[in-house]
Structure 1
């Protein structure tokens, strides 16, 4: 993977967006808030779907998931990134889609 291979990363983002919107729409019908447990679950579903498509490189798929460096909670509290300037790409996309649908 080279940093100049931005087209591959863009392909992952483009493929992830409709997957995220579909999954978020399914969860939004419950009327429940976006919790840490739910955002982790949605991220896992998105990554599974992206991995199933054999035309995307796993290294680029891994760039959008949370790295574990940031210790995001895994509980039923509503998601709150506070004033964080560094948010995992998938989490950011999920959060935005969830609140746009609201």
Structure 2
């Protein structure tokens, strides 16, 4: 059973608000990244910074979440990343700012789908039936 004392209820509400904001920001970042993915623009450090700036400046995102919540998604100033045209490579690191993680995930997912495309194109064509059989 869930303990809904005022302190625990506040924590649960804060966690829910954070999850909602994170999903919202992920959707925004994926939409921005998709524009570049469709154009086959590689993910460089400079592009990653541009995606971050655009996502965090999204007026809809800012209007749906309070300033404190928005601040949680800002990259700390003491976490500098290159701003070059080199390809993004985080190695095995899993400690990424949220926007960076969402953008990298979108690019990795697109690369997986692209790798699967040739296999699907070589598969024999089957006539689709309206009832799925």
Q: Place the TM-score, normalised by the shorter chain, in its bin.
A: 0.7 to 0.9
Correspondence for 2:101: 92
Correspondence for 1:43: 52
Structure 1 residues 26-65: aligned runs within 5 Å: 26-49=35-58, 53-65=62-74
Check whether the contact 1:20–1:93 (CA below 8 A) recurs between aligned residues: yes
Quote how far apart the aligned CAs of 1:53 are.
4.0
Correspondence for 1:19: 28
Quote how far apart the aligned CAs of 1:85 are.
4.0
Check whether the contact 2:24–2:61 (CA below 8 A) recurs between aligned residues: no
What's the CA shift string for 1:13-42, capped at 9, x where partnerless? 121122112111101122121011101100
Q: Which has the larger radius of gyration?
A: 2
Looking at structure 2, the residues matched to 71 and 51 of structure 1 have their Cα atoms a distance apart, in angstroms, of 27
Looking at structure 2, the residues matched to 98 and 65 of structure 1 have their Cα atoms a distance apart, in angstroms, of 21
Looking at structure 2, the residues matched to 59 and 50 of structure 1 have their Cα atoms a distance apart, in angstroms, of 15
Looking at structure 1, the residues matched to 91 and 75 of structure 2 have their Cα atoms a distance apart, in angstroms, of 17
Q: When the two structures are superposed, what TM-score results if normalisation uses the length of structure 1?
A: 0.84
Looking at structure 1, the residues matched to 62 and 95 of structure 2 have their Cα atoms a distance apart, in angstroms, of 28
Aligned residues: 100
Correspondence for 2:131: none
